[in-house]
Amino acid sequence: MTKHQHHPEVPIYQAETLAVRAGSEMTEFGENSEALFLNSSFRFKSAAQAAARFGGSEPGNIYSRFTNPTVTMFQNKLAALEGAEQCVATSTGMSAILACVMGLCNAGDHVVASRSIFGTSVQLFSNILARWGLQVTFVSLTNLDEWQSAVTVNTKLFFVETPSNPLTEVCNIRALADLAHKAGAHLVVDNCFCTPVIQQPLALGADIVIHSATKYIDGQGRCLGGAVLGSKVLMEPVYGFLRTAGVTMSAFNAWVFLKGLETLYIRMDAHAKNSLALAKWLEAQPNVARVYYPGLVSHPQHALAMQQQSNGGGIVSFEVKPKAGQTSQDAAWALIDATRLISITANLGDAKSTITHPATTTHSRVTAEDRAATGIDDSLVRIAVGLEHVDDLKADLLALTVS
């Protein structure tokens, strides 16, 4: 592939421009949209070139498990948006977490993780990685004293999602990064909810950013993918794990994500605008006990969120008040089942709004005691607010307005 030729004085582009233009390369055919390379392997001009490619002395494509031009373009574009030196693209968001930990930790190493991470992430740490000798301590996302107390001599990583799923709790990234670095550890931030449009953890002191590209980066619920981003030094062992283990992003999915990134800035602004309007409306409804959204003044970390984020994001959670004779779960399920427009699915980041009951879906494999410890009540409903007109979303939640 032949890279675009630029004027020697290359301007520093705004982020919105980078989302459209960064990372793109063109072939001799001069295509204006990134090319899709679906082939598994690449030819060499000679045996010597093949040896140089495999040995690393000559850059270039070898085999699509670990080198593919379309995937490379996606990696370079996302790295530009996050301000990272390197991005390693993976098959899913969960495989991104796996690649990060397997690349940077050994058996006997220790990870401190927030209790408020995604339910499947909890399972990965406590039920799978623990079997291979990884030690994990779960602590409060927002209590720095708990993080400090959990540190041991073999602590390698701090792992957080901020805002958290589904209660949108927010941690102080810079303070947590300082604490991690003082302990000789690296801070890993899952930035799935915000994307680089709303929050840039590396600029706040984090060492590594994780993404489930399946969510907002795609934006239309089409493909699975993940990414790990950070310095070249930290990404080298992560890439090495991917090259060997094969938790690889497909070229087709990378091509879809490239298209998603082009509209990421305008989509995230629209998601956040709808979410704030819906969250304010929910707070006024008689059948809503509490609303969780960082953009609301009532959110416990509102001020911090507005320092770290450009807006409140696209996720709104709320607790439904049970009616006479209802359990908390009955009330939540009745509301969900009464919707006709909003999609009942646990996915998020779609142009279509989605609704789910975290206690019995995304966090169903977390024990009831652990759900209670993280504040996930049976009455809790999560909406990933899409791009529909907000008045239509309010109308679909009409059951909340009836006393």
DSSP 2: B
Please state which of the ranges 5-14, 136-145, 298-307 shows the lowest mean pLDDT: 5-14
The CATH number corresponding to 268-401 among 2.30.29.30, 3.90.1150.10, 3.40.50.1820, 3.40.50.150 equals 3.90.1150.10
pTM (predicted TM-score): 0.93
Residues of the chain within CATH 3.90.1150.10 domain(s) are 268-401
Candidates 274, 292, 273, 289; CA nearest to 168 is 292
The CATH number corresponding to 15-262 among 3.30.420.40, 3.40.50.920, 3.40.30.10, 3.40.640.10 equals 3.40.640.10
Where do runs of H (alpha helix) occur along 14-126? Answer: 15-21, 47-55, 69-82, 93-104, 119-123
Residues of the chain within CATH 3.40.640.10 domain(s) are 15-262
**How would DSSP label each residue in 239-260?**
HHHHHHH--BPPHHHHHHHHHH
Query: Taking 80 as the threshold, does the pLDDT of residue 35 lie above it?
Result: yes
User: 264-283 vs 251-262: helix axis angle to the nearest 10?
Assistant: 70
Which position has the higher pLDDT, 88 or 28?
88
Residue type present at position 295: G
Please state which of the ranges 156-165, 171-180, 280-289, 361-370 shows the lowest mean pLDDT: 361-370
The torsion defined by the Cα of 106, 112, 116 and 120, in degrees rounded to 10, comes to 10
Which position has the higher pLDDT, 285 or 403?
285
Mean pLDDT value across residues 43-58:
96
**How would DSSP label each residue in 272-301?**
HHHHHHHHHHHHT-TTEEEEE-TTSTTSTT
**Token pair of 7, please?**
């004027």
Mean pLDDT value across residues 319-329:
94
Residue type present at position 339: T
Give per-residue pLDDT as tens, 196-254.
999 999 999 999 999 999 999 999 999 999 999 999 999 999 999 999 999 999 999 99
